[in-house]
């Protein structure tokens, strides 16, 4: 699936819920399916700066795509990074770099977050794009 197709799928899923209590429960459930980063990669180098909670993100290149794993010590944050990994993992670096993140506004996630969590979301996206940039520039 393309990044846009995955984003559209997420928007459709979020539209099924009546309110933000249900949507946050869904975000928490998504966090439980997160491809967890190996303990050996829970290092300062893989920590996302700017997040209220601890978030570790690792990207590696695999057969021309970028594969992400992550973890967080907070359940909502774990769900948020799970959504981002669902969108951007197993995609080409060039596609990640050119992808927009309007789907986050479409599901209304950013406005439901505290300012520090919203900043953390921006930091997560920035780090994903930085991995993509690093892999793309190696070509």
DSSP state of 18: S
Annotated catalytic residue 70: no
- DSSP code per residue over 38-57: PGGG-SGGGBPTT-SS-EEE
The candidate with the shortest Cα–Cα distance to 120, out of 62, 20, 51, is 51
Calpha distance 124→49 (Å, rounded)? 9
Calpha distance 87→25 (Å, rounded)? 19
Q: What are phi and psi of 57, to 5 degrees?
A: -135, 135
Choice among 6, 27, 34, 51 that is catalytic: 51
Three-state SS for 23?
helix
Q: List active site positions.
A: 51
């Amino acid at each position: 699936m393309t990044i846009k197709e995955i984003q559209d799928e997420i928007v459709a899923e979020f539209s099924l819920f009546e309110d933000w209590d249900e949507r946050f429960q869904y975000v928490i459930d998504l966090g439980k399916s997160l491809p967890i980063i190996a303990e050996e990669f829970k290092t300062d180098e893989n920590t996302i700066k700017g997040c209220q909670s601890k978030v570790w993100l690792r990207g590696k290149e695999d057969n021309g795509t970028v594969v992400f794993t992550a973890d967080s010590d907070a359940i909502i944050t774990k769900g948020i990074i799970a959504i981002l990994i669902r969108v951007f993992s197993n995609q080409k670096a060039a596609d990640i770099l050119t992808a927009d993140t309007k789907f986050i506004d479409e599901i209304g996630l950013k406005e439901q977050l505290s300012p520090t969590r919203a900043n953390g979301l921006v930091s997560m996206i920035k780090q994903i794009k930085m991995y993509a940039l690093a892999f793309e520039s190696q070509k």
